[in-house]
């Protein structure tokens, strides 16, 4: 009852009880984003210790992000059947097991099993409840915006701080200790999440669209695998991408057929009828693509071309962390003065400008600090638009569709992360030279223009939906 009472008293600022509930949710988003980027500074250490290559580590990182993207929509749907709190707890437990298995991995296959598969599946189970519970518990527009700001900021900080924290842990102990750190944080989240109550009852009779889940997952996996195959075989790349596209087309046909037949589909076609939400999903995908692609390219280049170790690479990335933290701190002030559309547009402009700085300054200097201005500006830009993009999408739908839209939103964001690592990483690994670095950065900037274009098409005034 405590949570229900608190829900009616959030007209301006969340109650102390709700702020305590928000803490484990924000920490969960932090550790999952941290896991997606901290391995970037361990590339050299992991490849040496496990007797693998840079491409092997890239596959592990991309697979982790891809598993999340492929299973996030089914994960969001399962929250309706088994309950948001139960899925959150189960996901955390599975994630913790995967982190511990990764810490003792004797080779790349076990690392992929622990980090890429178990942590990826765990994340797909626990992240949708984070956004669904945030939407359901914080019913007032202002308090919900603040809550999304905290969760999104922690996600961005986790992604930006991953290289620094991962580098510090790797240099002080070993890369394996970074996975132990993740397991410890998960244990803390499990302890704190005892206060979280699910405001809506689970519906065990809710049907689950298994065919739709398989079609969507296979389609996404094939598309990303095609990109990863680009540097080995052009025809294989084309075949995989086409096959993935056909699978996704089949998925959309399938869910439309189920809806017309009156059956429950994995994803309602209604979530694609909101032009505002669709544009918001594009901005989410591109901003995470830019952030994770930039992180992988800069980290790989510093370690394999410049010869820096994990701690040196992590310190260089401090600039991005500072930029993202600063914009997160100022997020509420920005939101009061500027429309969400304006903030998203400004975020893309700054992020693209930061990539341009990385191209110009790094090319003309051998100093590691030549990376700092570009990383700072890019980090600040991404931090400025993370919260508005999430709020645009989540607030476009009522309570009954939060499971679907949360899964779709997180799937699109994680697909962007995996595509960023796959596209930029593939270009870089193809040459691992200054020319390949420039090409990878230029590709990220060009993709950023797509996100900027989508942001400019968002309506100037956004009216959040609070119910159905």
User: How is 436-450 classified by DSSP, letter by letter?
Assistant: HHHHHHHHHHHHHHH
**pLDDT the model gives residue 11:** 40
Q: Where does residue 214 rank: exposed (0-12), middle (13-18), buried (19+ CB within 10 A)?
A: middle
Identify the segments of the chain with pLDDT beneath 70: 1-17, 141-142, 145, 231-232, 364, 399-400, 402-403, 430-434, 462-468
Each residue of 341-358: b (16+ CB within 10 Å) or e?
Answer: bbbbbbbbbbbbbbbbbb
**pLDDT the model gives residue 2:** 37
- Domain at 14-197+274-456: CATH code: 1.20.1250.20
In whole angstroms, how far apart are CA 440 and each of 153, 298, 378, 436? 26, 10, 15, 6
In whole angstroms, how far apart are CA 324 and each of 226, 318, 427? 32, 10, 26
**pLDDT the model gives residue 218:** 92
- Look up residue 450 and give its two tokens: 């797509």
Instruction: Give pTM, 2 decimals.
Output: 0.77
Q: What is the CA radius of gyration of the chain?
A: 21
CA dihedral for 287, 293, 298, 303, sign (positive or negative)? positive
DSSP three-state, residue 134: helix
How far is it, in rounded angstroms, from Cα 292 to Cα 122? 20
- Look up residue 260 and give its two tokens: 């017309």
**pLDDT the model gives residue 434:** 57
How far is it, in rounded angstroms, from Cα 144 to Cα 155? 16
**pLDDT the model gives residue 402:** 63
How far is it, in rounded angstroms, from Cα 161 to Cα 36? 11
**pLDDT the model gives residue 3:** 39
Angle at 314 between CA 309 and CA 316, to 5 degrees: 100
**pLDDT the model gives residue 355:** 94
Read off the DSSP letter of residue 67. Answer: H
How far is it, in rounded angstroms, from Cα 376 to Cα 128? 29
Residue matched to tokens 């390949």: 436
**pLDDT the model gives residue 466:** 47
Q: Where are the alpha helices (DSSP H) in 305-366?
A: 310-316, 318-329, 331-337, 340-363
Interval 233-265: pLDDT, tens = 778 888 999 999 999 999 999 999 998 988 888
Q: How many CA atoms lie within 13 A of 217 on its CB side?
A: 19
Q: What are the domain boundaries of the chain?
A: 14-197+274-456, 209-263
């Amino acid at each position: 009852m405590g949570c229900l009472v608190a829900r009616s008293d959030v007209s301006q600022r969340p109650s102390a009880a709700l702020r305590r509930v928000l803490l484990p949710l924000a920490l969960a988003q932090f550790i999952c984003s941290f896991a997606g980027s901290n391995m970037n500074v361990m590339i050299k250490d992991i490849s040496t210790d496990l007797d693998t290559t840079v491409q092997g580590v890239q596959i592990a990182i991309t697979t982790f992000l891809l598993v999340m993207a492929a299973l996030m929509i089914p994960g969001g749907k399962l929250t309706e059947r088994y309950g948001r709190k139960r899925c959150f707890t189960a996901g955390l437990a599975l994630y913790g097991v995967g982190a511990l298995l990764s810490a003792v991995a004797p080779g790349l296959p076990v690392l992929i099993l622990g980090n890429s598969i178990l942590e990826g599946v765990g994340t797909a189970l626990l992240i949708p409840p984070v956004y669904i519970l945030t939407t359901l518990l914080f019913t007032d527009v202002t308090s919900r915006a603040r809550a999304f700001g905290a969760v999104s900021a922690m996600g961005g900080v986790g992604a930006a701080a991953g290289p620094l924290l991962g580098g510090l842990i790797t240099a002080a102990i070993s890369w394996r200790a970074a996975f132990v750190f993740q397991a410890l944080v998960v244990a803390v989240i499990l302890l704190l999440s005892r206060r979280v109550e699910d405001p809506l009852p689970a519906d065990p009779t809710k049907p689950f669209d298994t065919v739709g889940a398989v079609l969507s997952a296979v389609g996404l996996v094939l598309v990303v695998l095609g990109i990863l195959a680009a540097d080995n075989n052009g025809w294989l790349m084309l075949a995989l991408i086409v096959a993935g596209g056909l699978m996704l087309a089949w998925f959309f046909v399938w869910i439309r057929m189920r809806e017309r037949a009156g059956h429950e589909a994995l994803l309602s076609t209604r979530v694609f009828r909101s032009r505002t939400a669709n544009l918001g999903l594009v901005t989410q995908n591109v901003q995470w693509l830019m952030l994770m692609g930039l992180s992988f390219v800069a980290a790989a280049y510093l370690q394999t071309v410049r010869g820096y170790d994990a701690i040196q690479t992590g310190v260089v990335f401090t600039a991005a962390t500072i930029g993202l933290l600063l914009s997160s701190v100022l997020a509420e002030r920005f939101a009061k003065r500027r429309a969400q559309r304006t903030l998203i547009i400004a975020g893309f402009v700054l992020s693209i400008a930061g990539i341009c700085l990385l191209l110009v300054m790094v090319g003309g200097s051998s100093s590691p600090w030549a990376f700092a201005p570009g990383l700072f500006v890019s980090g600040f830009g991404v931090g400025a638009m993370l919260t508005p993009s999430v709020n645009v999408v989540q607030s476009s739908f009522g309570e009954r569709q939060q499971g679907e839209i949360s899964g779709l939103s997180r799937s699109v964001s994680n697909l962007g992360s995996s595509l960023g690592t796959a596209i930029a990483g593939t270009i870089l690994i193809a040459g691992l030279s200054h020319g390949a670095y420039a090409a990878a950065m230029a590709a990220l900037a060009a993709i950023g223009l797509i996100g900027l274009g989508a942001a400019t098409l968002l309506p100037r005034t956004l009216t959040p939906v609070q119910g159905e």
